[in-house]
Amino acid sequence: MRVLIVFAHPEPKSFGRALLDRSVQTLQSGGHEVVVSDLYAMDFNPVASGEDFTQRCFPDALQYDREQKLASQRDAFTDDIQAEIDKVLACDLLILQFPLWWFSVPAIMKGWIDRVFANGTVYGSGGMRFDNGGLKGRRAMLAFTTGCFPEMMEPDGLLGQRDVILWHLQYGTFGYSGLEVLEPFVGWSIQYTDEGKRHAYLDQYETRLRRIEQETPMQTHLLSDFAADWRLKPGIEPRTAGHRRPMLKD
């Protein structure tokens, strides 16, 4: 496999960095090709703007996703974006690794998504999304550390259920783009763990990655499950495993 790890952590001496290093070693020793985009080290610009395009089709007023669509057709992305798009398209497995900040990815990683997951490339017109998304045939997973305890992300936990918190990333960003989503790897409450527990997390991650090719992605819906009104067709049950679909009642 070709694996792209996008990594966002401001501290080179962090546990997150140790986790990254272990994952690179493990995947390489398993014969996989690994590319790392270390966003802090790259000083990656996370702010989407009109300067992201070498030519503008609508120079009067920026419509970012329309410009992305045309840039996808005309190779008009700036080099920093095109380099990341090329890495994504070349990979079989995408790992986003980060500390969970405010129930999501750090801003530098959100900006990587905003700028690199471009209209016309990872999704687009003509039903190019979900199982027909631009990144179909590839897999993705989140690998993150938290300041909270796992009980807090249970269905009746303080913060709400893990896959609800992660919905915007796993079902939204990954799913919409056509990526098949593997269970996240979570290093819980890293600041409150001792050295032994941290080593155990490194070993757990290694064990997981050694068998990553054999994993079954989480279940999700197919585009064909939805009718022309964008609602689930009659008789199709909201999936209850993997990407569980919350059906909230009033």
What residues form DSSP beta bridges with 99? 145
56 vs 27: CA distance, rounded Å: 40
- With 0-12 / 13-18 / 19 or more C-beta atoms within 10 angstroms meaning exposed / middle / buried, residue 189 is middle
Residues 151-190 that bind its own copies (CB under 8 A): 151-152, 154-161, 163-165, 167-169, 171-173, 176
Q: Token pair for residue 231?
A: 């609602």
- 211 contacts its own copies (rule: CB under 8 A): no
Q: Which of 18, 35, 82, 104 binds its own copies (CB under 8 A)?
A: 104
189 vs 151: CA distance, rounded Å: 11
Q: Which of 88, 98, 108, 144 binds its own copies (CB under 8 A)?
A: 108
State in angstroms the smallest separation of the CB of 206 from its own copies. Answer: 23
Q: Which of 195, 24, 186, 168 lies closest to 93 in space, CA to CA?
A: 24
- 194 contacts its own copies (rule: CB under 8 A): no
Task: Pick between residue 16 and residue 209 the one whose CB is nearest to its own copies.
Answer: 16
State in angstroms the smallest separation of the CB of 230 from its own copies. Answer: 5
Dihedral of the CA atoms 212, 214, 220, 222 (nearest 10)? 120
Chain contacts with its own copies (rule: CB under 8 A): 10-11, 13-14, 40, 46-50, 60-66, 101-108, 110-111, 113-114, 117, 130, 147, 149, 151-152, 154-161, 163-165, 167-169, 171-173, 176, 191, 226, 229-232, 238, 240-241, 244-250
